[in-house]
């Protein structure tokens, strides 16, 4: 595998050189004011990226999965009921985590390729007149299927039912790449990680808590130690952690957040939308379909592309790695072998995306699919020529 090629997996994403270097720093005392000079600005920047005035930000040496556990264990008690939709591998894994923690999960089964049905959520909440449901879990962007869901609609469903349930959102593959509005959407816990939109290696779980979620920790009885946010809060006041923080990664995160805010969040989101639209134009030119069932749910961070019946889509991924040294994502769970995924989030430009589209074309042609070389590339080129707003600040 050549290290010169960009990766097109939906995380870990490509690392800009400057951000990579920022992770590489000498040892400092992580209980000193010097560490505070990383910790406090990074938390303030993350608040801005979540679009929140008040969210308490916690950063754990962990991954997105640890962020899920932070959300659950700090706010819920064994046997508590939660409402969740299963529409892909990541929502499935979060549900599995709930069940392993002894939570009672009411599951809204949704076919993979569709977004969370807010109407069904509203129905389930209205039917829950005793308010047994303590939290609603929503995966903002299903990375397995390339499907985004409308979080505002889910908040509206909770409000329409006049239900007190908290709203927990997995934003691991959306936050910092697609618009996320913690305050406006009334999110109670938002979860993300370092290795997707933040363009860093894996190693940090990033979690935002609303005041309501913080209050819930007072009565939550699920066991927690490593992910206890109260221990974390006590440490933060003294520039410290209850254990050893991943200082280098956090220094990288400081630069990553500065880079994103410097580009401007609206520009970051527009760039992701433009790049994704070019990829979708190419898919269309190939005569293939996305797993995402309709344009409203198409993700701007990852495209899951259906291949013809009888063809193993994973062959594209292994062939791309072996012959061209390029990484695409395989299909997961129910869509294994049916889709391959092009990740187009993080440090990505139109030109990088074109190289991924060109590589996918070569692989599909090599493997005997009826794909005309250059067809997707030309379609995407046309799209980018007409829509580019590339500036020097883009994708530093």
Ligand X SMILES: *Cc1c(COP(=O)(O)O)cnc(C)c1O
Residue choice 16, 64, 201, 356 for contact with ligand X (CB under 6 A): 64
Nearer to ligand X, 70 or 307 (CB): 70
143 binds ligand X (CB under 6 A): yes
The answer to whether the beta carbons of residues 133 and 88 sit under 8 Å apart is no
Nearer to ligand X, 118 or 144 (CB): 144
Pairing of the two strands 166-170 and 189-193? parallel
Options 16, 117, 193, 346; binder of ligand X; rule CB under 6 A: 193
Q: Which is nearer to ligand X, 23 or 363 (CB)?
A: 23
- Provide the Cα torsion 389, 392, 394, 396; round to 10°: 160
Chain residue at closest Cβ approach to ligand X: 64
CB of 156 to ligand X, least distance (A): 22
Q: Which 326-385 residues touch ligand X, going by CB under 6 A?
A: none
Q: Where does this chain touch ligand X (CB under 6 A) — which range of 135-143, 219-227, 327-335, 381-389?
A: 135-143
Q: Which lies closer to ligand X via its Cβ, residue 138 or residue 377?
A: 138
User: Which residue of 55, 172, 207, 317 would you call a contact of ligand X, by CB under 6 A?
Assistant: 172
11 binds ligand X (CB under 6 A): yes
Q: Which stretch binds ligand X (CB under 6 A): 61-69, 95-103, 128-136, 335-343?
A: 61-69
Binding residue for ligand X, selected from 170, 300, 350, 394, defined by CB under 6 A: 170
Measured in whole angstroms, the distance separating CA 327 from the mean position of its chain's CA atoms is 18
- Min separation Cβ 9 and ligand X, Å: 10
Give the interface segment with ligand X, choosing from 59-67, 100-108, 249-257, 291-299 (CB under 6 A).
Answer: 59-67
Do residues 59 and 205 touch, judged by C-beta distance below 8 A? yes
Q: What residues numbered 194-213 form the site for ligand X, per CB under 6 A?
A: 202
Shortest distance in whole angstroms from residue 219 CB to ligand X: 27
Position 61 contacts ligand X (CB under 6 A): no
Tokens of 379: 């379609």
Q: Which range of residues in 103-111, 169-177, 213-221, 350-358 is near ligand X by CB under 6 A? A: 169-177
Residue closer to ligand X (CB basis): 161 or 345? 345
Tell me how far, at minimum, the Cβ of 234 lies from ligand X, in Å.
26
Taking the complex as a whole, the smallest distance from the CB of residue 112 to ligand X amounts, in Å, to: 14
Query: Of the candidates 52, 139, 259, 347, which one interacts with ligand X according to CB under 6 A?
Result: 139
Q: In the range 82-101, which residues lie near ligand X by CB under 6 A?
A: 90
Q: Which is nearer to ligand X, 6 or 343 (CB)?
A: 343
SS3 string of the chain?
Answer: CCCCCCCECCCCCCCCHHHHHHCCCCCCCCCCHHHHHHHHHHHHHHHHHHCCCCCEEEEEECCHHHHHHHHHHHHCCCCCEEEEEECCHHHHHHHHHHHHCCCEEEEEECCECECCCHHHHHHHHHHCCCCCEEEEEEECEECCCCEECCHHHHHHHHHHCCCCCEEEEECCCCCCCCCCCCCCCCCCEEEEECCCCCCCCCCEEEEEECHHHHHHCCCCCCCCCCCCHHHHHHHHCCCCCCCCCCHHHHHHHHHHHHHHHHHCHHHHHHHHHHHHHHHHHHHHHCCCEECCCCHHHECCCEEEEECCCCCCCHHHHHHHHHHHCCCEEECCHHHCCCEEEEECCCCCCHHHHHHHHHHHHHHHHHCCCCCCCCHHHHHHHHHHHHHCCCCCCCCC
Q: Does 388 bind ligand X (CB under 6 A)?
A: no
Q: State the residues that interact with ligand X by CB under 6 A.
A: 11, 63-65, 90, 139, 141, 143, 170, 172-173, 193, 202
């Amino acid at each position: 595998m050549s290290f010169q090629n960009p990766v097109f997996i939906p995380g870990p994403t490509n690392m800009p050189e400057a951000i990579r270097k920022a992770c590489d720093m000498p040892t400092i005392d992580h209980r000193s004011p010097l560490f505070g000079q990383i910790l406090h600005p990074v938390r303030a920047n993350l608040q801005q990226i979540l679009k929140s005035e008040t969210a308490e930000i916690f950063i754990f040496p962990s991954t997105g999965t640890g962020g899920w556990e932070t959300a659950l264990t700090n706010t819920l008690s064994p046997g508590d009921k939660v409402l969740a939709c299963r529409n892909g591998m990541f929502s499935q894994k979060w549900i599995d985590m709930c069940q392993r923690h002894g939570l009672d999960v009411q599951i809204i089964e949704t076919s993979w390729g569709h977004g969370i049905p807010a109407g069904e959520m509203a129905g389930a909440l209205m039917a829950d007149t005793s308010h047994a449901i303590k939290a609603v879990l929503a995966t903002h962007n299903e990375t397995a299927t390339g499907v985004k869901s409308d979080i505002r609609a889910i908040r509206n469903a909770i409000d329409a039912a006049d239900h007190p349930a908290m709203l927990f959102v997995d934003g691991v593959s959306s936050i910092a790449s697609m618009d996320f509005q913690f305050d406006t959407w009334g999110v109670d816990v938002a979860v993300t990680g370092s290795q997707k939109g933040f363009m860093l290696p894996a190693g940090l779980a990033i979690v935002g808590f609303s005041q309501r979620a913080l209050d819930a920790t007072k009565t939550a009885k699920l066991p927690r130690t490593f992910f206890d946010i109260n221990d974390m809060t006590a440490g933060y006041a003294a520039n410290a952690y209850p254990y050893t923080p991943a200082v280098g990664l956090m220094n990288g995160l400081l630069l990553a957040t500065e880079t994103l805010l410097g580009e401007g969040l609206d520009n970051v989101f527009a760039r992701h939308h433009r790049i994704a639209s070019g990829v979708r134009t190419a898919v269309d030119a190939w005569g293939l379909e996305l797993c995402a069932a309709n344009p409203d749910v198409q993700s701007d961070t990852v495209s899951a592309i259906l291949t013809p019946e009888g063809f193993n889509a994973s062959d594209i991924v292994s062939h791309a790695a072996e012959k061209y040294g390029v990484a695409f994502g395989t299909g997961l769970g129910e869509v294994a072998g049916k889709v391959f995924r092009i990740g187009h989030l993080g440090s990505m430009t139109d030109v990088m995306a074109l190289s991924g589209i060109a590589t996918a074309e070569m692989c599909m042609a090599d493997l005997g699919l009826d794909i005309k070389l250059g067809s997707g590339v030309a379609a995407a080129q046309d799209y980018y020529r007409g829509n580019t707003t590339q500036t020097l600040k883009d994708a530093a």
